[in-house]
Structure 1
């Protein structure tokens, strides 16, 4: 960071970046323990997979719903609400013996998780300008990229030694810590509700879906992530049931997949400098 940036801004940057890391952690730490959840609650694998797919679906819906209206909201309040929601739902996931309640709590946890990335990247853009903004976004992206690589390893290790409850208690401690730090250090920003946001919301998405290029990108992205999450969900079942691989090892076997995604992002970054992205 440039030396002329106040230290409090640098601290807030790392705090927001860690919050985004935590949002990704919420999603990815759960995958290696899918067999453990199935066996603990004595439910079919389809029900456990539903807790994964619904979590991802709700996060996607939160991006769509909040994406065009977030600028008119008090963003500190939004992130605090999201962390309170995550904390309450996470502790329910840790202690409930009922799978239906566990599933509902997991869905509520996804609502809180979906708010964080939008708020954090918006606040970073507001806090920094010019070259400092580019450096800040680079720091944010590094932590965001590391999360999918580290989360399954943590999930496998914690799940092996402390069970699924240990994972949710670990997430609860992080969410409460972030809640306290953000409440104290994050600058407040009162926003007035802008008129015409509802119209803008519909116009934006009508424009996307009426454009063949936008629809093509959505379809391709859907199939890419469909394949990715199919592997993500069924890999632990295959490894645990058929090859009897322990949970702590399953987490490490996700590493090649996530490292490949990171390398793919780096390759794209270099290629886009040489190749035109327009059609």
Structure 2
């Protein structure tokens, strides 16, 4: 019998006899994935109207940016808390509580009349949103096994890719007509709908055989001490570091080098997201053909190659820059989805905890990326910016690939 990324902790066989038999796995997949889409939408739909928020609340850019920061930090930190609780108490209750907090905070943000009040509700919105992605990944890991888990994770990533694709567009349309309160009211109403759907149709997916052992500290330690998961965490952090640099600096490069309009820049982001969505299915094919470990490392190296091409060619012409951006989306689709599949297979008793730690690593990378990118881009050199980014990402992938539990040993037969 073959286990992905080795060892009995990587077993993907689930005793379904102890899971609610009334739950359709496909229904559960789309319920939790759509809920995660909503949490992503709360991030991407809000960013385009930040200048409008500043004007409506008559505040400084610093405090407006703080409404973004507190959401991100709260969501990152609370995932660790919700992950442990979900592994100990179950998935469904954690998701419902998180979504209740998210919906109430969204209603609060809609009626906020000062920036300090908005900051408070955005923080609470982030707290509630934190429960959704860790529970989503854990539920998928509980209900699917083997190739079916790979396909389910691919569909989850496909749905999540809609957030950056349509979030800014919808947010801009609603914000232009109704202001920031319109966006938060839309999010609150959509959240209330998803909360009701999960309450009615989502059943508990955690098997009674899956018992998380030890204190939260011991479980975090177990996740971090496992060499295979450490490799995934390191790559995930570097991957998020590089993607945040790309997403933040591409608009500046398009404007400074080619004087592209915001509309064309927005179209390029849509094309990149579309490339990602289409290529998710290619990632599934490679995982089935090569195995999850080999396809994961291959996708990461291709992602590094796309950054190298950025450093060499992105300033050549607008058409080349947009094509490279789309190619980056293709390689990102190959590199990103396998990580969560690997972690949910490695830690059957602590799936939510493992995913929470992984997401925190990614959030740290996302936070550090723009800061490092600003230093790399001080000379306005795209070669230095993307070359340094590719170097950091490549070193992380290379180091993870040559550890004692390298990719050649990550799939074993018993």
TM-score of Structure 1 vs Structure 2, range by shorter chain: 0.7 to 0.9
**Deviation string for 1:121-153 (max 9, x for gaps)?**
111221223333232222212101222111111
Task: Quote how far apart the aligned CAs of 1:229 are.
Answer: 6.6
Counterpart for residue 296 of structure 2? none
Match of 1:263 among 304, 308, 330: 330
Counterpart for residue 93 of structure 2? 77
Match of 1:36 among 47, 52, 61: 52
**Deviation string for 1:206-258 (max 9, x for gaps)?**
6389x9968864763564355357559x97xx9xxxx997xx99865753565
Counterpart for residue 156 of structure 2? 140
Aligned residues: 262
Query: 2:210 aligned with 1:87, yes or no?
Result: no
**Structure 1 length as normaliser, TM-score?**
0.78
Query: Quick one: distance in 2 between partners of 1:194 and 1:130?
Result: 22
Task: Quote how far apart the aligned CAs of 1:203 are.
Answer: 1.6
The secondary structure found in structure 1 opposite 2:177 is helix
* Unaligned runs of at least 5 residues, structure 1: 270-274
Q: Which stretch shows the higher mean deviation, 29-38 or 132-141?
A: 132-141
Query: 2:131 aligned with 1:115, yes or no?
Result: yes
The alpha-carbon distance between structure 1 residues 30 and 177, as it changes in their structure 2 partners (threshold 3 A), is same
Query: Quick one: distance in 2 between partners of 1:193 and 1:267?
Result: 32
Task: Quote how far apart the aligned CAs of 1:178 are.
Answer: 0.7
The alpha-carbon distance between structure 1 residues 202 and 194, as it changes in their structure 2 partners (threshold 3 A), is closer
Query: 2:218 aligned with 1:200, yes or no?
Result: yes
Counterpart for residue 272 of structure 1? none
Query: 2:278 aligned with 1:278, yes or no?
Result: no
The secondary structure found in structure 2 opposite 1:154 is helix
Query: Quick one: distance in 2 between partners of 1:212 and 1:118?
Result: 18
The alpha-carbon distance between structure 1 residues 228 and 80, as it changes in their structure 2 partners (threshold 3 A), is farther
Q: Which stretch shows the higher mean deviation, 196-205 or 13-22?
A: 196-205
Query: Quick one: distance in 1 between partners of 2:142 and 2:28?
Result: 12
**Structure 2 length as normaliser, TM-score?**
0.54
Task: Quote how far apart the aligned CAs of 1:91 are.
Answer: 0.7
Counterpart for residue 227 of structure 1? 245
Task: Quote how far apart the aligned CAs of 1:80 are.
Answer: 0.7
* Unaligned runs of at least 5 residues, structure 2: 1-20, 275-325, 337-396, 403-414
Query: Quick one: distance in 1 between partners of 2:158 and 2:232?
Result: 27
Contact 2:82 / 2:94 at 8 angstroms: preserved in 1?
no
Query: 2:109 aligned with 1:99, yes or no?
Result: no
Contact 2:273 / 2:329 at 8 angstroms: preserved in 1?
yes
Query: Quick one: distance in 2 between partners of 1:125 and 1:206?
Result: 19
Q: Which stretch shows the higher mean deviation, 31-40 or 46-55?
A: 46-55
**Deviation string for 1:31-55 (max 9, x for gaps)?**
0010111001111111111111221
The alpha-carbon distance between structure 1 residues 143 and 219, as it changes in their structure 2 partners (threshold 3 A), is closer
Contact 1:69 / 1:197 at 8 angstroms: preserved in 2?
no
Contact 2:144 / 2:152 at 8 angstroms: preserved in 1?
yes
